[in-house]
Structure 1
Amino acid sequence: MIVGLIIACEVAFWVLLAAGLAFRYVFRMPRLGLALLLCEPLLEIVLFAVTAIDLRNGAEPDWRHGLAAVYLGFTVGFGHSTLRWADARVAHRFAGGPPPVRPPKYGTARAVHEWRVAGRWTVAALVALGLLQAAAWYVGGDGDIGSLRAWQQRMLFVIGVNVVIAASYTLFPKKRPKGEGGARREQAKMR
């Protein structure tokens, strides 16, 4: 049941996102679009409540409960940036908005971008870790919480990998190729 609910929440997330942006930009009904977008957190509240009820009713904690915690963590860490990403693209396509800003490719700007991404992953993993720990306490010493601990180890691994990636861009910044960008800088100087 939990896996089905996670899938339903993910599908509902994208349906609400598409509907909210469609009403906001295509149908020119920004208030209704905003109302639909503000319904997104309700999905996570429902998933959290159903998972807690399932554990309270005596379900043995397993990978499904861990997956629900990870999904909730991902939503907290990446939900807002996903909404902004989609909003920028739809605004550009349907409302004459500016083209979406692409992540930088080189130097310090790229390192800063990678640290922001690592920060989002860290927030997502820390929320998941907290929810997994809360589930372990909720079940108590009587239940088998090995699967929850396994998910916690995976979340620590996720944090570590993202910190290593961001640190690599800091320590070994990617340099702009010689032919690329130089002409643009010269044009900018002439203006």
Structure 2
Amino acid sequence: MNAVAWMIVICEAAFWAAVISGLAARYLFRRQKLGMFFFALIPLLDAVLFFAAGIDLYQGATATMAHAIAAIYIAVSVVFGKSMIQWADERFRYYVLKDGSKPVKRYGLDYAKHYAKGWGKHVLSFAIGGILLAGTVFLIQAPSRTGTLSQLLKGWSVVLCIDFLIMASFFVMPKKKGSRDI
């Protein structure tokens, strides 16, 4: 595993450590500012990953799938980060603190609309990640070294289309109560 792949693993672990630390500071220790400090570290982790991957490529490395996944990681973190923290916050309050209301399970048209919003975020993540990937290909100016980045963008396009079909299916065949989540 190369250095960028390890950076992805470290940043993902640090992301969840920051989320859990932020929630613990906020709710267990009643330290709101400390909790916000931990949450503020999350964009810093994205920047570290972005620069690590960029410097590696700038110094002559051939792009690997890890470099491409770094762009996806950053895009998904930017777009979904706040909702992931809200998701964790809601569950932390309910399951750990035994406070707050039970997390909502969605069904029918409500689920379809919620999934459609998630698909919209997926499109935004795709746009941001695509800009990062295409920008890297443009800056490096060496197609022999950046082919993996272009390949991943094509694959991600297919995933985005499949996700659209899944989203549309929930409007045609709404999720029924008691069915499993995807």
Return the match for 1:73 from 69, 72, 75.
75
**Equivalent position of 1:152 in the other structure:** 153
**What SS does structure 1 have at the residue aligned with 2:145?**
coil
Deviations 1:45-97 (A, max 9, x none): 01111111111111112222111111112212321111000011112232722
Q: 1:36 to 1:176 in 2, by over 3 A?
A: closer
**What SS does structure 2 have at the residue aligned with 1:9?**
helix
TM-score (norm 2): 0.88
Contact 1:126 1:155 in 2 (8 A): no
**Equivalent position of 1:22 in the other structure:** 24
Give the Å deviation of 1:145: 2.2
**Equivalent position of 1:129 in the other structure:** 130
Q: Does 1:94 align with 2:100?
A: no
Matches within 5 A, 1:2-41: 2-41=4-43
Percent identity for Structure 1 against Structure 2: 31
Q: 1:119 to 1:142 in 2, by over 3 A?
A: closer
Q: For 1:11 and 1:31, how far apart are their aligned partners in 2? A: 22
Q: For 1:96 and 1:111, how far apart are their aligned partners in 2? A: 28
Give the Å deviation of 1:157: 1.3
Of the structure 1 ranges 123-132 and 148-157, higher mean CA displacement relative to structure 2 is found in 123-132
- Give 1 or 2 for the bigger CA radius of gyration: 1
CA RMSD across the alignment? 1.8
Q: For 1:16 and 1:132, how far apart are their aligned partners in 2? A: 27
Q: Which amino acid aligns with 1:54?
A: D
Of the structure 1 ranges 34-43 and 137-146, higher mean CA displacement relative to structure 2 is found in 137-146
Q: For 2:154 and 2:143, how far apart are their aligned partners in 1? A: 21
Q: For 1:131 and 1:87, how far apart are their aligned partners in 2? A: 30
**Equivalent position of 2:162 in the other structure:** 161
**Equivalent position of 1:111 in the other structure:** 112
TM-score (norm 1): 0.84
Q: Find runs of 4+ consecutive structure 1 residues off by over 4 angstroms.
A: 174-177
Contact 1:76 1:123 in 2 (8 A): no
Q: Give the unaligned 5+ runs of structure 2.
A: none
Q: For 1:173 and 1:100, how far apart are their aligned partners in 2? A: 20
Q: For 1:33 and 1:175, how far apart are their aligned partners in 2? A: 38
